[in-house]
Structure 1
Amino acid sequence: MTDVSRAAHASVSRRQWLLDPSPGSRRQAAWGNAYRRWLQFRANTLAMIGLVTVVLLIAAAIFAPLLATHDPSAIALENRLAPPSAAHWLGTDDLGRDLYSRILYGAQVTLGMVVAVVVLVAPVGLVIGVVAGYVGGWLDTLLMRVTDVFMAFPKLVLALAFVAALQPGVTSAVIAIALTAWPPLARLARAETLTIRESDFINAVRVTGASKGRIIMRHVMPLCVPSIIVRIALDISGIILTAAGLGFLGMGAQPPMPEWGTMIATTSGFILSQWWVPTIPGVAILLASLAFNLLGDGLRDVLDPRQE
């Protein structure tokens, strides 16, 4: 048997093992379930386009120092407002800085803000929602009224208020966006918990004498995680737009940092004459937001059991 035939045979064996309708272990069942979800996700063309685009954006951000052709902060006034060319693939801005390099480094800033916000809001929203939904009573009322207060204001307006109370900058923008992004997650986690807490298996665990904390941590939270993942994936586009909006209004990343919203703000006056200068960062924002929306839709179809 040749190496190629051995590899093909091993691949077929792995596939049969993963798709076995009667798994012999919890490990096999878990891997089989994950593989079936991947096959379902892969069949969604738009979701795969979103996934590939997101992976490319992340790779561009990580390898920006290797992919960039110029120093993103290097000023060359003799090349200011140059159109796209072999020397400057996406042209230059009003200070002669290479737009292609600034877009790559801007991906680091934007995606870094997204990661920071997600790391902050996902645990907070999940814990608040699950605790409120499972414990109920006055604690549920208190937590949900606080959530309602944050949800009563438009996200960008509330973020602007928080940044104004602090000081303009990336850190302040991340904190402000995080403070506006957790309420929908808390609401979703609470709704999921309300449907879970009276389930037969939760009652069985409760009868065994398990504490509320153990039930919440070991049994309720894991069941809420898929919905939270889907909601976060769909909300990332909003986070990107809010971060860009804060940068555009001068309350987020500050020049000369190559953040996409800030790049548009500092070059918006050239939209009619040198259109590529403000348009290219806008296209980057559009592609990133669209990619995460497509990815979120695909994850919803796979992870949400209510979706057919």
Structure 2
Amino acid sequence: MTREWLLSEQPASRRQARLGQAYRTWLSFRGNWLAMVGLGIVIALVVVAAFADVIAPHDPVVGGDLRTARLLPPGADGYLLGTDDLARDIFSRVVHGARLTLLVVTLVAVIATPIGLLVGTTSGYFGGWVDTILMRITDIFLAFPRLILALAFVAALGPGIENAIIAIAITSWPPYARLARAETLTVRGSDYIAAVKLQGAGPVRIIWGHIVPLCLSSVVIRVTLDMAGIILTAAGLGFLGLGAQPPQPEWGAMVAAGRHFLIDQWWVATIPGIAIFVVSLGFNLLGDGLRDVLDPKGRK
């Protein structure tokens, strides 16, 4: 009965219509098994980050005896994925590193998405000199590779996970602004917006109350697809020593610390590298699935 109520072609209320549309979207998304794999990876990341203290069997910062527990291979003496050069459990560090990774992608998305939406919708709605100025600023940011620009900002702000998040967020908003501007240009002259103007709505209400919701699905898809790039940028900054600082268990910094032992003790650098790869792949698969179900222009 619930399924029939949700799939009704003649909903009796707005609530039923919204829930029915959400259920149809979920059914479409569920039919894409790669997207479900991506969703599973992302959910696993969230669960691991939330319960890292329970899952990790050892302290991620304090190591064991350097004489007996240094650079142990996976499975030795109760260390599931081995130990690093300071006798710290790699599995525990990877688990706690999930928290830093989730923190970075969440904060970057929270900071960069509103900035991109504000710049893009304002530029597309007003046009003229406002559009010219805002888009030229956007072009300046887009002219530089994201990692190079993030390196410049971190060099100016100083190393640290907080400054790395700020730097990545500053370099992440331009694509969202471009996308929001394009969406705004397609709807600003529509009868729907004209009717809102006739009701006396001002520019701020029109932009945030009517245009931004129309742009949101496309921007969410782009943000999800960009999560992998954000993770790689954060790992790159950590690898160069400009992101999370020791002894924080950040995956990029772990790869950097393990590169000196790559030949004989391969697990020190390889395991956090695999974690970066799997999580990045999960966000890419999830983003592709969301694009298929949320973007009408991308449907076959």
Q: TM-score, normalised by structure 2?
A: 0.97
**1:85 equivalent among 60, 75, 91:** 75
1:68-103 CA-to-partner distances (Å, cap 9, x unmatched) read 000111222121110111600000001110000000
Query: What are the equivalent positions in structure 2 for 1:2-13 lying under 5 Å apart?
Result: 13=1
**What is the match of residue 51 of structure 1?**
39
**1:255 equivalent among 229, 243, 246:** 246
Query: What are the equivalent positions in structure 2 for 1:5-154 lying under 5 Å apart?
Result: 13-76=1-64, 77=66, 78-85=68-75, 87-154=78-145
Query: What are the equivalent positions in structure 2 for 1:233-252 lying under 5 Å apart?
Result: 233-252=224-243
1:252-305 CA-to-partner distances (Å, cap 9, x unmatched) read 111111000000111101111111110000000000000000000000011101
Please report how far the alpha carbon of residue 39 of structure 1 lies from its aligned counterpart in structure 2 after TM superposition: 0.2
**61-70 or 82-91: bigger deviation:** 82-91
| Whole-angstrom distance in 2 between the partners of 1:276 and 1:244 | 17
1:124-176 CA-to-partner distances (Å, cap 9, x unmatched) read 11111001100111111111111111111000000000000011000110010
| Whole-angstrom distance in 1 between the partners of 2:151 and 2:206 | 39
| Structure 1 residue 171 corresponds to structure 2 residue 162 | yes
Secondary structure of the residue that 2:223 maps to in structure 1?
helix
| Whole-angstrom distance in 1 between the partners of 2:169 and 2:206 | 27
Letter in 2 for 1:104: V
| Whole-angstrom distance in 2 between the partners of 1:207 and 1:261 | 54
Letter in 1 for 2:70: R
Letter in 2 for 1:81: L
Please report how far the alpha carbon of residue 218 of structure 1 lies from its aligned counterpart in structure 2 after TM superposition: 1.4
**What is the match of residue 210 of structure 1?**
201
Please report how far the alpha carbon of residue 207 of structure 1 lies from its aligned counterpart in structure 2 after TM superposition: 2.4
Letter in 2 for 1:170: I
1:44-64 CA-to-partner distances (Å, cap 9, x unmatched) read 000000001100011001100
Please report how far the alpha carbon of residue 209 of structure 1 lies from its aligned counterpart in structure 2 after TM superposition: 2.5
| Whole-angstrom distance in 2 between the partners of 1:65 and 1:75 | 16
Query: What are the equivalent positions in structure 2 for 1:276-287 lying under 5 Å apart?
Result: 276-287=267-278
Letter in 1 for 2:11: P
After superposing on structure 2, the runs of 4+ consecutive aligned residues of structure 1 that deviate more than 3 Å are none
| Whole-angstrom distance in 2 between the partners of 1:242 and 1:108 | 16
Instruction: Give the number of aligned pairs.
Output: 296
Please report how far the alpha carbon of residue 208 of structure 1 lies from its aligned counterpart in structure 2 after TM superposition: 2.6
Letter in 2 for 1:217: W
**What is the match of residue 265 of structure 2?**
274
Letter in 1 for 2:149: L
| Whole-angstrom distance in 1 between the partners of 2:196 and 2:61 | 59
**What is the match of residue 7 of structure 1?**
none
Letter in 1 for 2:29: F
Letter in 2 for 1:111: L
| Whole-angstrom distance in 1 between the partners of 2:63 and 2:96 | 16
| Whole-angstrom distance in 1 between the partners of 2:230 and 2:254 | 17
